[in-house]
């Protein structure tokens, strides 16, 4: 039985599109049953609808700072669609601790840095300012703290001396589109176990591969 997944977006939903594409495979252990946005003009809604996926809009602006009120409507929508897992795809609204705890172990987010480095806004600018030689993206479970939570999967890219936040972001976005579907695959297939603050994955051997930047002979 495929796990039922909702994707929450606020904008174009490029990671949403990657998840939808992966879920079209017959052997993918999850199905995207709903895409929910807090903005009616989010471009990703049209993308989801074109793929035949049910969409819903819960405008966040009328709720103001009443996050619990917003989440009550969101939870009803999730319940109506029998959602089991949530993937955040550029969802620009903070949750209450109560909502996050209710979905602990069942809600994923992706962040464009190798967490715990460079959480929050402008992670690419942060990475370039720090002078790191490798950056990347992280899929993690959502906890009340922003851009924290057990790490499920990461992917890395080399940082070039002439990179800008825009060029680095473009390369990392390609990594995001690769690892988010695979992280969801692992979770939906039951291979993921949370052990305190750590995420353990069964049946997956380490690749033993390394990445060194700048490259050496």
Structural contact between residues 54 and 34, judged by C-beta atoms closer than 8 angstroms: yes
198: number of Cβ within 10 Å: 9
d(CA 84, CA 185): 14
Q: Of 92, 102, 24, 20, give the one whose Cα is nearest residue 55.
A: 20
Side-chain-side CA neighbours of 124 within 13 Å: the count stands at 16
Distances (CA, A) of 69 to 39, 94, 145: 16, 13, 20
Peptide bond into 214 cis (omega under 30): yes
140 annotated active-site: no
Q: Which of 39, 111, 124, 140 is catalytic?
A: 111
CA–CA gap between residue 207 and residue 195 (Å, rounded): 22
Residues in the chain: 217
> Distance of CA 148 to CAs 3, 26, 92, 135, 139, Å?
24, 32, 16, 17, 10
Residues marked active site are found at 111
């Amino acid at each position: 039985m495929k796990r039922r997944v909702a994707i929450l977006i606020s904008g174009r939903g490029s990671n949403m599109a990657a998840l939808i594409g992966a879920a079209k495979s017959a052997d993918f252990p999850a199905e995207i049953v709903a895409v929910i946005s807090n903005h009616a003009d989010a471009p990703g809604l049209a993308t989801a609808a074109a793929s035949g996926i049910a969409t819903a809009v819960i405008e966040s602006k009328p709720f103001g700072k009443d996050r619990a009120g917003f989440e009550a409507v969101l939870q009803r929508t999730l319940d109506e669609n029998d959602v089991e897992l949530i993937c955040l795809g550029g969802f620009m609204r903070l949750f209450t601790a109560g909502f996050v705890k209710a979905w602990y172990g069942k809600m994923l987010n992706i962040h464009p840095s190798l967490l715990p480095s460079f959480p929050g806004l402008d992670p690419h600018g942060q990475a370039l300012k720090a002078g790191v030689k490798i950056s990347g993206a992280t899929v993690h479970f959502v906890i009340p703290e922003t851009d924290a939570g057990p790490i499920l999967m990461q992917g890395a890219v080399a940082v070039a001396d002439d990179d800008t936040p825009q060029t680095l972001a473009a390369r990392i976005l390609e990594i995001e589109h690769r690892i988010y579907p695979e992280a969801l695959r692992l979770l939906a297939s039951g291979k993921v176990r949370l052990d305190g603050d750590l995420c353990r994955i069964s049946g997956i051997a380490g690749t033993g591969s390394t990445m060194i930047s700048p490259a050496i002979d």
